[in-house]
Amino acid sequence: MDTFTPSIERSTRASQIGLVLAVLLLLAAVSAPWWAERSSQRLLTEFLYTVALAQMWNLMCGYGGLLSVGQQGFVGLGGYCLVVLGLQWGIHPFLIVPLAGVLGALVAVPTAALLFRLRGAYFAVGTWVVAEVFRLLVANTASVGGGSGTSITRTVSGIPAWWRESSTLWLALALGAGATFAVYALLRSRHGLALTAVRDSEPAAQSLGVSVTRMKWLVYIASAAGCSMVGALIFITKLRISPEAAFSMDWSAAMFFVVIIGGIGTIEGPLVGTVIFFVLREFLSDYGSWYLIVLGCVAVGFMLWIPRGVWGLMSSRFDLRFFPVQRRVRLAPAPTRGVTAAPVVAAATGDAA
């Protein structure tokens, strides 16, 4: 019998091209304040933070198997960090963003303890209740503006406009690209493999020693921290906050729409989905409520007929992976033998089923 030495490889042709593309895009984005118009920068910022939110939701749902319709609770929490830490304590707004992440993670701990008593669909609605509780608590607190909200322009008033716009963009880039690469890194690690195992079959994963509970906690807290950071960033751009806007279901709707249409359980999905989301918004922005009706119908249609989303469809058709998380075994014949045989490649998929 021939001996073969197995080697594990991760990158594919597509991923190598993708890497080059990613670097180019990142450079373009970083340099945008110098060559792009104000309005384009704002659009780019919005695009980037939407990607961040979508990656967080995808991490929880597509990879962690935890469906949440309450992430807006953490988005709002992050936004109100600006009010408390910025308006009241005078901390620099761009510093508040990471602090919001820490706060989000801290709040996520007791929240998860409560919510993990529910499973599946009940968990989902439970997350919504929690988000509502956050909203009502804030709305009843006069010192942060109560139900009508407050303006937060004062937190950024000391900073020159160009710096403010550029730093916002860079921060959005850090969050959007950061979320994408953080999820990618997580999935490439052994924790990522464990996560995929848990999603595919909890009992099987448990029997192999994976702590299902620990994985779920990790994913929930990471997602909460991410959403809080994005929330703080969002309201730096909006400069006015109110409980209704901060804790709006629209954030969850956007996350869910982007991920489903783009492709759940893939890293490329949220990117593709955000592009489609913004394109649709451009075309339908004049139609008010009809825009949301179309969005809702499209999402329903996708869920019924194209559940793996656009990227899911494309990647299975063309076997594309820009962010390779699978490990492939390549068997090359051992060099000492004179016999040459074609190398056998078997792919072990870590991607969404």
Partner 1 sequence: MSEWINTLLQGLLMGGLYALFATGLALSFGVMRMINIAHGDFAILAAYAAIAIVEPLGWNPFLVLFLVVPLMAGFGYVLQRVILNRTLGQDILPPLLVTFGLSIVIQNLLLVQFSADTRSLPAGLLGTASLSLGGDVAVGVLPLITMLVALAVLGGLQWLFSATALGRAFRAASDDSETARLMGINNRHIYGVAMALAMGIVALAGIFLALRANISPADGPLRLLYAFEAVIIGGLGSLWGTLAGGMILGVAQAIGLKADPGWGILAGHLAFLAVLVVRPNGLFPRTRDR
Q: CB-wise, 95 or 300, nearer to partner 1? A: 300
Among 98, 147, 178, 350, binds partner 1 (CB under 8 A): 147
67 binds partner 1 (CB under 8 A): yes
204 binds partner 1 (CB under 8 A): no
Burial of 180 (0-12, 13-18, 19+ CB in 10 A): buried
Q: Checking DSSP bridges between strand 4-9 and strand 327-333, what pairing results, if any?
A: antiparallel
CB 233 to partner 1: min, Å: 25
The per-residue b/e assignment along 73-98, b for 16 or more CB within 10 angstroms, e otherwise, is bbbbbbbbbbbebbbeeebebbebbe
Among 89, 122, 163, 283, binds partner 1 (CB under 8 A): 122
162 binds partner 1 (CB under 8 A): no
Query: Is 142 strand, coil or helix?
Result: helix
| Structural contact between residues 15 and 321, judged by C-beta atoms closer than 8 angstroms | yes
Half-sphere exposure of 75 (CA within 13 A, CB side): 30
Q: CB-wise, 46 or 132, nearer to partner 1? A: 132
Q: CB-wise, 6 or 296, nearer to partner 1? A: 296
Cα end-to-end span (Å), the chain: 34
Q: Which of 174, 160, 273 is nearest to 233 (CA)?
A: 174
Q: CB-wise, 186 or 292, nearer to partner 1? A: 292
Q: Which of residues 276-295 bind partner 1 (CB under 8 A)?
A: 288-290, 292-293, 295
CB 297 to partner 1: min, Å: 6
CB 194 to partner 1: min, Å: 21
Q: CB-wise, 300 or 348, nearer to partner 1? A: 300
Q: Residue 159 has which token pair? A: 């900073």
Rg (CA), the chain: 22
297 binds partner 1 (CB under 8 A): yes
Of 87-95, 129-137, 154-162, 225-233, the segment contacting partner 1 by CB under 8 A is 129-137
Q: Which residues pair with 348 in a beta bridge?
A: 327
Q: Checking DSSP bridges between strand 150-151 and strand 240-241, what pairing results, if any?
A: antiparallel
Q: CB-wise, 27 or 114, nearer to partner 1? A: 114
Q: Which residues bind partner 1 (CB under 8 A)?
A: 61, 67, 69, 114, 117-122, 124-126, 128-130, 132-133, 136-137, 139-140, 147, 249, 253, 256, 260, 264, 288-290, 292-293, 295-297, 299-300, 303-304, 307
